[in-house]
Amino acid sequence: MNIIKIKKGVLSMPLFKLPGAHVPHHKNTASKQAVKMPVPKEIIMQMNMHIGAFAQPIVNVGDHVLVGQKIAQAGGYISAPVHCSVSGVVKKIDTVLESDGTHVPAIFIETDGMQEISDEVQPIKVDSYEDFVEAIKNSGIVGLGGAGFPTYVKFAIKDLSQVEAVVINAAECEPYITSDTRTMIDHLFELEEGVKLLEKFLGAKRIIFGIENNKKEAIDALSKTFKDDQKVEIKVLPALYPQGGEKVLIYNTTKRIVPEGKLPLDVGVVIINVTTLAWIARYIKTGMPLVEKVVTVDGSCVANPQNVIVPIGTKIKDVFDFCGGFKEMPYKVMYGGPMMGVALPNLDLPITKRTNAILAFNQKEATVPEPSNCINCGRCINHCPLHLDPPAFAKALDLNRPEELVKLKVNLCMECGVCSFVCPAKRPLVQKNRLAKATLKKYLAEQKKKEEGKQNENK
């Protein structure tokens, strides 16, 4: 094992000049081992806990379901099955209203408190690469860093000789969140088994943990665990947000740049979240699919901030209640961290596979400052990890010039929020970026339709 410390300022490529921002860490729960909460009275299993097509329910109202039982099948190639996290009875199949105003199908289950385990839960026999990919597909595991991309798709690689390095995302750069940190401290055996699986079935000759330098206990734990594995490198990176962004982490660990419209595999890299890897190892050893999450519960309004082992589908209000409720009524509650998290309309929404934190903030912390005019300081450009130009995006959007957005490469924006964070005028730049990307998507679709129309006319 090699431990490599990358110091601030060594990046020389202009694309990544002055990347990121020094955000407050607030890792208040990093030293708190996760505790298991009691089974709630009801869970809500959403069908969109992953990127891609919704899962399709395969149970009916009145059915008795068990822990680990598959209750929804994948709805397409980019999708994932859903497994029950409790034992109980299906009360209804309905929809829930999400933050963006969409209604999402969900299975509502009344728990019986018995936590009986399904006969479907059996250790998985894996003898080949194909078995390995199929196991991940059946596990329901998705990217647990928050993205929710179905993991098996990442590993469905036609030519394994393409894989030159596997990067394990252990950065956990968002403020407050420490659930991945606890994986690296409390589940080292599963991580070790996960690395062995990568070495065996992907033939990985280089495995790199990319971790920020503000996680000393986790760094020490990884270093001790993998000290005799010469294929493993622990790259200790500056605590500079968004260090965990896919393209950023790949560059900072391998010096490879993923071009616009390309995938990490196109530059010889597979990237996987550290907790996702641990869950793969756990599933293959036990057969228990993804049915629970370690969730960081924190924020100025939370009475007892901690890391909690939560059955997927548990209502957010039940998790907060387990943590002692609120010291004061929150002004804003959100899934995920304050940089890329999503504000919630109510506390009845459930914990999903993507949820690594729920935060509750008071009015002072959560109030958005009033924006003022741009002073053309260039901070947003200089601190953008991809060196993009948010003011130019906003201008092209306001002037309805979507063709300029193509040249400006707005689709490279990962919506990390650094531009808004460093802006002295407090302009909502990341929101403008998001609107610009949506506008460009619509424009390109219209252009494609026009081109197809011309081709049909010439036939």
Q: Which amino acid is at 384?
A: C
Give the pLDDT of residue 459: 67
Residue 41, token pair as written in the block: 């009275």
Q: 3-state secondary structure string, 178-216?
A: CHHHHHHHHCHHHHHHHHHHHHHHCCCCCEEEEEECCCH
Residue 141, token pair as written in the block: 């595991």
Distance spanning both ends of the chain, measured CA to CA:
62
The CA distances from residue 431 to 21, 185, 242, 394, in Å, are 18, 36, 17, 10
Residue the block writes with tokens 């990985």: 204
Distance from chain centroid for Cα 344: 17
Q: Judge contact between 351 and 290, C-beta under 8 A.
A: no
Give the pLDDT of residue 456: 78
The CA distances from residue 208 to 231, 273, 323, 362, 416, in Å, are 8, 12, 35, 39, 23
Give the pLDDT of residue 2: 55
Long-range contacts of 403-407 (CB under 8 A, 24+ apart): 403/443, 405/436, 405/437, 405/439, 405/440, 405/443, 406/440, 406/444
Angle CA 110–288–73, to nearest 5: 65
Give the pLDDT of residue 169: 97
Give the pLDDT of residue 101: 83
Q: 5: Cβ–Cβ under 8 A, 6 or more apart, which residues?
A: 213, 235, 236
Give the pLDDT of residue 14: 39
Alpha helix segments (H runs only) across 106-148: 129-139
Mean pLDDT of successive 10-residue segments in the chain (459 residues)? Answer: 48 48 95 97 96 96 98 96 98 91 94 96 96 96 88 93 96 96 96 96 94 96 96 96 94 93 93 96 97 97 98 98 96 95 94 96 92 94 93 94 93 94 95 94 89 77
Cut 0.85: pTM above it: yes
Q: Judge contact between 154 and 270, C-beta under 8 A.
A: yes
Give the pLDDT of residue 15: 42
Run of H or E including 161: none
Strands 35-36 and 306-311: parallel
| Number of other residues whose CB lies within 10 A of the CB of residue 363 | 13
